[in-house]
Homo-oligomer: A and B are copies of this chain.
């Protein structure tokens, strides 16, 4: 549990960036999380792992990992930004479950027809769209168990 996965490490290298102990810690924490982490939350987790790692490094690392296509941001309800380790390559979108916090990837191919239609209907060329959609995943929704009867999900 001391290092990030080889997959992540090789993607950092592939993006022409260096592997450092700090990046390893941060990538590992994101990899271990089952949901997007907020900035403060992540900084706290990093500090717990190694208090010598500075805040600036956390944000720099997030930026580096984002450039490498490893990390994505989702804007959590409430307006905060969540940081998320992404397996899927290339541009895609996110379904965030408000129950368990889990994230599902939506491939660009699934939204493309919708965007093409918008372009026609509004005479507008779409340059950039990135969706984060909130809701409830199948596991959290049931099956058959009404919402009110379920125990409070992890926050």
8 Å CB interface, A103-155 against B: 104, 106, 110-111, 114-115, 117-119, 121-129, 131, 133-138, 141
Chain B residues near A141 (CB, 8 Å)? 125
A75 on the B face (CB < 8 A): yes
On whether the beta carbons of A129 and B124 are closer than 8 Å, the reply is no
Number of copies: 2
Most B Cβ at <10 Å: residue of A95, A124, A131: A124
A77 on the B face (CB < 8 A): yes
A30 on the B face (CB < 8 A): no
> Smallest Cβ distance from A85 to chain B, in angstroms?
19
On whether the beta carbons of A118 and B125 are closer than 8 Å, the reply is no
A27 on the B face (CB < 8 A): no
On whether the beta carbons of A127 and B135 are closer than 8 Å, the reply is yes
On whether the beta carbons of B133 and A129 are closer than 8 Å, the reply is yes
On whether the beta carbons of B122 and A126 are closer than 8 Å, the reply is no
8 Å CB interface, A69-88 against B: 75, 77
> A-B pairs with the 4 shortest C-beta distances?
A123-B138, A114-B114, A126-B135, A129-B133
| 29 sampled A-B residue pairs with Cβ under 8 A | A77-B128, A95-B118, A95-B122, A95-B126, A97-B124, A98-B127, A104-B124, A106-B118, A110-B117, A110-B118, A110-B121, A111-B114, A114-B114, A115-B133, A119-B135, A123-B137, A123-B138, A124-B137, A124-B138, A125-B141, A126-B134, A126-B135, A127-B134, A127-B135, A127-B136, A128-B133, A129-B131, A129-B133, A131-B131
